[in-house]
């Protein structure tokens, strides 16, 4: 059995001048080396080689299909569109890889990948046929098919299908988590909608108060600050009399009313004189 030497540390007591402290002690130990996992090594090598072949296929197909499309459009646009032919089935393989534990979900990207591959192969073959090289076009188309088949074999090896009961359990857990994730967006949408409704109702709430007595004063209690009734134009004397008859006794309020209804330049002395006369007459 093969071993390898590694260095480890441990705490040991160390005493100096009668005082003991725990210090690190470094030591080496031989540990056994596990046997090489050749299966994993081979699988890693096959996966890397398949990835390299995909790159080669993309370059070949892009060159062929790009030259085919360049007959009717400018070269940059033609080669950019040519990448989509192989990129489509490569992306389908990536989704199939993500669904390797769920055969039902992996079936759709697998079928879509085969369809995209067939279109790419037809395009490569058409380029060879139009160029007068039918054999080269057919061989070039087969290259993409070989690489896709190789990747199908690799994916089948990586796939770990679950038994029926475990698959049902996984589906239920996935549905529950998906429902929780969906409720996050739904709750956000509902909150936004309710906020819009509240804002709309607040903007439209412009009608009169349901209580006709806007001052909030009870009908049984007199208003401590009565206001004189508004009538037509009048003299200073009449305005003073109206204010007093309305229950206004504050000279400043009477002066304000006189200036509002009779004379805007009424003097306080004049108003006071009429107040005294009105009170003596009353």
* Domain layout of the chain by residue ranges: 3-32, 42-164, 236-281
pLDDT for res 232: 52
DSSP secondary-structure letter at 70?
T
pLDDT for res 22: 92
pLDDT for res 253: 83
Determine how β-strand 19-32 pairs with β-strand 3-16.
antiparallel
pLDDT for res 216: 46
16 SS3 class: strand
pLDDT for res 209: 46
Positive or negative, the CA dihedral 139, 145, 151, 152 is negative
| Residue-level length of the chain | 282
Beta strands in the chain (DSSP E): 3-16, 19-32
Q: CB neighbours of 117 closer than 8 A, spacing ≥ 6?
A: 89, 144, 145, 148
Residue 179 burial by CB count (10 A; 0-12/13-18/19+): exposed, middle or buried?
A: exposed
Integer Cα distance of 226 and 250 in angstroms? 11
Low-confidence ranges of the chain (pLDDT < 70): 205-233, 282
Residue 112 burial by CB count (10 A; 0-12/13-18/19+): exposed, middle or buried?
A: middle
Integer Cα distance of 188 and 191 in angstroms? 5
List C-alpha distances in Å: 276 to 236, 261, 280: 13, 20, 6
pLDDT for res 241: 82
CB of 227 within 8 A of CB of 246? Answer: yes
pLDDT for res 260: 80
SS (H, E, C) 78-138: HHHHHHHHHHHHHHHHHHHHHCCCCHHHHHHHHHHHHHHHHHHHHHHHHHHHHCCCHHHHH
pLDDT for res 13: 92
Instruction: Indicate the pTM of the whole model.
Output: 0.51
**How many Cβ atoms sit within 10 Å of the Cβ of residue 240?**
29
DSSP secondary-structure letter at 200?
H
Integer Cα distance of 95 and 155 in angstroms? 11
pLDDT in tens, 72-121: 889 889 998 888 888 898 899 889 888 888 888 888 998 998 899 899 88
> Buried b / exposed e across 41-80, counting CB within 10 Å, b at 16+?
eeeeeeeeebeebbeebbebbbebbbbbbbeeeeeeebbe
Residue 261 burial by CB count (10 A; 0-12/13-18/19+): exposed, middle or buried?
A: buried
Integer Cα distance of 260 and 233 in angstroms? 10
């Amino acid at each position: 059995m093969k071993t390898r030497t590694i260095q480890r540390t441990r705490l040991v007591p160390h005493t100096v001048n009668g005082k003991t402290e725990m210090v690190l002690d470094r030591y080496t130990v031989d540990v056994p080396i596990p046997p090489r996992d050749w299966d994993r090594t081979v699988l890693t090598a096959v996966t890397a080689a398949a990835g390299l072949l995909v790159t080669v296929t993309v370059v070949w197909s892009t060159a062929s299909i790009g030259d085919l499309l360049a007959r009717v459009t400018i070269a940059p646009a033609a080669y950019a569109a040519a990448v989509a032919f192989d990129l489509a089935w490569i992306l389908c393989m990536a989704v199939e890889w993500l669904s390797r534990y769920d055969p039902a979900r992996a079936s759709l990207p697998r079928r879509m990948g085969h369809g995209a591959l067939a279109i790419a192969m037809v395009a490569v073959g058409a380029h060879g046929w139009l160029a007068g090289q039918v054999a080269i076009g057919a061989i070039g188309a087969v290259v993409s098919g070989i690489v896709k088949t190789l990747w199908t074999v690799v994916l089948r090896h990586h796939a770990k299908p679950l038994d029926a009961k475990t698959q049902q359990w996984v589906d239920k857990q996935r549905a529950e988590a998906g429902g929780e994730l969906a409720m996050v967006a739904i709750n956000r949408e509902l909150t936004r909608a309710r906020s819009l409704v509240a804002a709309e109702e607040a903007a439209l709430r412009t009608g009169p108060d349901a209580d006709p007595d806007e001052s909030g004063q009870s009908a049984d209690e007199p208003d401590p600050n009565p206001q004189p009734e508004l009538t037509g134009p009048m003299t200073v004397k009449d305005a003073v009399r109206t204010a007093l008859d309305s229950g206004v006794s504050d000279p400043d309020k009477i002066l304000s009313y006189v200036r509002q209804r009779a004379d805007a330049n009424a003097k306080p002395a004049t108003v006071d004189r009429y107040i005294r006369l009105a009170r003596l007459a009353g």
